[in-house]
Amino acid sequence: MSIEATLLERCESKCELCSSTSSLAPLAIAPQTQITVDYAAMLCDTCRAQIESPEDMDVNHWRCLNDSMWSQVPQVQVLAWRQLTHLSRKGETWANELLDMMYLEDETKKWAETGMDEDEDKPRDVNGVELKKGDDVTIIKDLPIKGSSQVIKQGTVVRGISLSDDPKLVSGKANGQSMYIIAEYCRKK
């Protein structure tokens, strides 16, 4: 029996998170990249798209986790825990309440927490120090400015940086111009 057939049998041809029966496909659960019976879940297009692009998350769709979080399948428990954690961090109190009720075996919880470190989504300077809005930074190497022949010289101070949606970038004014700067090329003052 193929992996997909085994997964379809396990989930009774329903999305393992929301129970939809349309457009099912397996999703490998991080940190795994290979689709195997032990490290994949069968999901509909809606669930898969929102897991892969959390910025497009429809909060109300995830109310289905109220049921799926009780699944006995560890892969489903991991996905439910991760989604509830994301929603809880966005201020959804109902998700936080479900997380408080949810029980995971130690091994399953460790798997669920893998890759959920809050700090990985924060901009860090060359020394790994977290950068925050309003910080002053020093450029650590000459940086060419895209679209021009100008260069931001090493040692240039950028005052009062702002954070962007991309945790690798900060924005600020250097030499009188507003621009985005890669955080790892800065040192916090």
Burial of 41: CB neighbours in 10 Å, binned 0-12, 13-18, 19+:
buried
Whether 47 and 106 map to the same domain: the answer is yes
Count of structural domains within the chain: 2
Please check whether residues 70 and 146 belong to one and the same domain: no
Helix (H) or strand (E) segment spanning residue 88 = helix 74-89
Residue 38 lies in a domain: yes
Q: Are residues 94 and 180 in the same domain?
A: no
Does a structural domain hold residue 120?
A: no
The verdict on 28 and 87 lying in the same domain is yes
Is 71 in contact with 84 (CB distance < 8 Å)? no
Segments of the chain scoring below 70 in pLDDT? 115-121
Q: What is the CATH number of the domain that holds 142?
A: 2.30.30.40
Beta strand 157-158 pairing with 137-139: antiparallel
Kindly state whether residue 53 falls inside one of the protein's structural domains.
Answer: yes
Backbone angles phi, psi at 43, to 5 degrees: -130, 155
Judged by DSSP in three states, 156 sits in coil
User: In this structure, are residues 107 and 75 in contact, taking their beta carbons and an 8 Å threshold?
Assistant: no
Note whether residue 121 is domain-resident. Answer: no
Q: What residue numbers bound the domain in which 106 lies? A: 3-113
In tens, the pLDDT along 111-163 reads 988 856 554 567 888 877 888 999 999 999 998 888 888 889 999 999 999 98
